[in-house]
Amino acid sequence: MTKPIPSVDQRMPTHGGVLRAAAKVAELLPQTPLLPLELPGGETVWCKVESLQPVGAFKIRGAWHRLTDLTDGERATGVVAVSSGNHAQGVAWAARRLAIAAKIVMPNDAPAVKLAATRALGAAVVLYDRPGGEDRDVVALRLTSASGATLVHAYGDPWVIEGQGSSGVELAAQMKCLAGGPPTRVVTPCGGGGLASGLVLALPDAEIVPVEPEGWDDVARSLASGTIQRVAANAPKTACDALQTPATYPINFAVMASRGLKGLSVSEAEVRAAQRYAFSHLRLVIEPGGAAGLAALLVGKVPADGRTAVILSGGNVDPAAFAAVISEV
């Protein structure tokens, strides 16, 4: 009954799959807002506000596309997901809606709001010891082996990639209406590369810029070197819990490399400044990882013009952590 962790061997995600995911998501959820934002230099960029999804992050898209494509037999045996919190909530939300049993493997240092929200959505939460070095994929494999449940990987899954890409389909339609044309550049937070690879497939003519926290820039180094690199064992602490992935998967890497993406990284202070900018200029609560793309734009690491978009990918942050960020001068 053991299912392998989905990989490039399973199937490749496609542009057609992204469109199919977008059609399914459009029946389920209203488009997330696209808001103009003036940068300090005077340029206006367009913010795709995925933090306003029902679970506070874009992850609901991939989870919905994946779970709705399960067979009746697969639905009956349930799903397992591994996540620091946003994918967890996305899978739990979709599973509850489809009456599928969900077990979610979460790190014991995940933000309390994310743990509580995942449980509130009816999922069974299984903790693993992230600081202690326990491998989350091993925990997940143990659970799927025991139950025959389907693993819904947070990024290394073709359905998940296509589902996340549905945000790019919405973005293109909204920018045609509001910005005079589809985006020529999309700056996005990047953890494992699920969203970035989905955007690549969704937007064949746009430059996609994945942004990672400093020290967690394995995707940027992988793209630069041509082979998948891992985050160093002694990687620095980062507030961007949603972007703490040890390495991208072959399926994501193949898509991102096929378009010659270049990644970059931002510091913790730059991320906090972006959270404060979104607070004061957009009145939005953005979690650290969700603000990484905006951080790169604010410090000029990526050029900006009226056809540049940025994904504000999530807003699940503990109140004390957010209070500290906005109180910092």
By CB under 8 A, residue 327 contacts a copy of itself: yes
CA distance 118 to 85: 7
**Beta strands at 34-38 and 44-49: parallel, antiparallel or unpaired:** antiparallel
By CB under 8 A, residue 271 contacts a copy of itself: no
Contact region for a copy of itself (CB under 8 A) — 100-108, 141-149, 190-198, 320-328?
320-328
Nearest to 309 by CA among 178, 159, 162: 178
By CB under 8 A, residue 33 contacts a copy of itself: yes
Q: How far apart are the first and last CA of the chain?
A: 55
Question: How many residues in total does the chain contain?
Answer: 329
Q: Binders of a copy of itself among 169-188, rule CB under 8 A?
A: 178
Nearest to 141 by CA among 183, 105, 87: 105
**CB 322, min distance to a copy of itself, A:** 6
Nearest to 188 by CA among 207, 211, 171: 211
By CB under 8 A, residue 319 contacts a copy of itself: yes
The only residue of 6, 56, 158, 168 in contact with a copy of itself, by rule CB under 8 A: 56
**CB 113, min distance to a copy of itself, A:** 7
CA distances from 56 to 89, 133, 287, 313 (A): 9, 28, 10, 8
Q: Binders of a copy of itself among 283-312, rule CB under 8 A?
A: 283-286
Nearest to 307 by CA among 212, 219, 203: 203
Nearest to 76 by CA among 99, 54, 96, 53: 99
The only residue of 129, 232, 280, 300 in contact with a copy of itself, by rule CB under 8 A: 280
By CB under 8 A, residue 58 contacts a copy of itself: no
Q: How many CB atoms lie within 10 A of CB 306?
A: 15
By CB under 8 A, residue 24 contacts a copy of itself: no
The tokens of 210 are what? 């994945």
The tokens of 104 are what? 């979610």
**CB 320, min distance to a copy of itself, A:** 6
Binding mask 77-116 for a copy of itself (x = CB under 8 A): ------------------------------------x---
The only residue of 4, 16, 30, 250 in contact with a copy of itself, by rule CB under 8 A: 30
By CB under 8 A, residue 220 contacts a copy of itself: no
Q: Which is nearer to a copy of itself, 51 or 83 (CB)?
A: 51
Q: Measured in whole angstroms, how far is the alpha carbon of residue 178 from the centre of its chain?
A: 25
**CB 101, min distance to a copy of itself, A:** 22
Which residues would be at the binding site for a copy of itself (CB under 8 A)? 30, 32-36, 51-52, 54, 56, 113, 178, 276, 279-280, 282-286, 315-316, 319-320, 322-324, 326-327
